[in-house]
Amino acid sequence: MTFPLAAHTPARGCRGRGERRHGRDWHKLFTGSHSAPELVKNARLAEDAGFSFLNISDHYHPWIPTHGRAGFAWCTIGSISQATSRIKVSTGVTCPLVRYHPAIVAQAAATAATLMPGRFELGLGTGENLNEHITGSVFPTSEPVRLDMLREAVSIIRMLWKGGVQDYCGAYYALDNAQIYELPRDLPPIRISAQGPMAAEVAGDIGDALIHFEQKPEEIIEAFRASGGEGKSCMIETAACYAGSEEEAKRTAYEWFPMEELRTAPVRSEKRWIGVPALRRRSLRTPAECPPPRCHTGRPAPIGIRRRRP
């Protein structure tokens, strides 16, 4: 039996103080190809096998229809909290820009951290049109705009985590008498996804940690460190596929991840499996190829509502 596998490894020389170097014991929970009950079972098996960290994808749609699944990650996280007792869990990653309002993400993460004291962290990124168009709002194709939205979203999340009633009127989002009543004793760290230097600079400035989904992280880590990320944790995700032979692993990789570019890489052979690592991520479609979603009126829907105070 073959299936895609995503592994997480801490970046060399980039980790927080007191953070243990976990090596290769970080496991991806891929909501696009497993049902929620299967994910909970896999989380428990991963903990029993000695894994120390889980990262769960947060999508509304699978990458391709063949994947066949796309359950709600936050419900699954609640179940995982009760099925495990030691392993740490992170979203990998949640987009708090369009599909979720930052206030909802702040509440969800606070509840998850309450269920898993010291075991949950919030992974955030700027998302993809694949998932973010579903509410009828236009997903911005401009990276600077998405990063500005992410900055504002993170500031709102941290504001709500301070407790008390909060009001806010910003460029993209608003709060009106919002308060999170169930806050954890220890707030979860926020790990920011960055795939380019511009995002890495933002991650170093507003995040507590970094996650990167490519194979050559040196430039990203350098930009992250130079912008306030020195000494903070870095996580690198790489996709891999294993099977009984190299050819079988390649066929599976192309079938399950056609949006990835299969790179030539050394193949490790053992008695039980042959691995084909290093699938490099690339977009299914460029933003220009994605027509803007429209609301029921036929006009492009706004990104957000800008409130004006009297």
230 is annotated as an active-site residue: no
53 membership: H or E segment, kind and range: strand 53-56
Q: How far apart are CA 162 and CA 156, in angstroms?
A: 10
Query: Helix (H, G, I), strand (E, B), or coil: what is residue 31?
Result: coil
Q: Looking at the DSSP assignment, which residues form a beta bridge with residue 276?
A: 241
CA angle, residues 220, 226, 232, in degrees to nearest 5: 75
Residue 270 has what DSSP assignment?
-
Q: Which of 188, 223, 222, 194 is nearest to 208 (CA)?
A: 188
Q: Which of 128, 132, 152, 260 is catalytic?
A: 128
Is 55 within 8 Å of 93 (Cβ atoms)?
Answer: no
* Tokens (6 digits) for 250: 């390649």
Q: Which of 8, 59, 67, 133 is catalytic?
A: 59
Neighbours of 35 (CB within 10 A): 13
Whether omega before 40 lies within 30 degrees of 0, making that bond cis, reads no
Beta-sheet pairing, 120-124 with 190-193: parallel
Tell whether the torsion through CA atoms of 112, 113, 119 and 120 is positive or negative. positive
Residue by residue, DSSP assigns 117-172 as TTTEEEEE----HHHHGGGSBPPP--HHHHHHHHHHHHHHHHHHHT-S-EEEE-SS
Return the amino acid letter for 209: A
Q: How far apart are CA 111 and CA 184, in angstroms?
A: 7
59 is annotated as an active-site residue: yes
Q: Which of 29, 32, 34 is nearest to 62 (CA)?
A: 32
| Residue positions annotated with a catalytic role | 59, 128
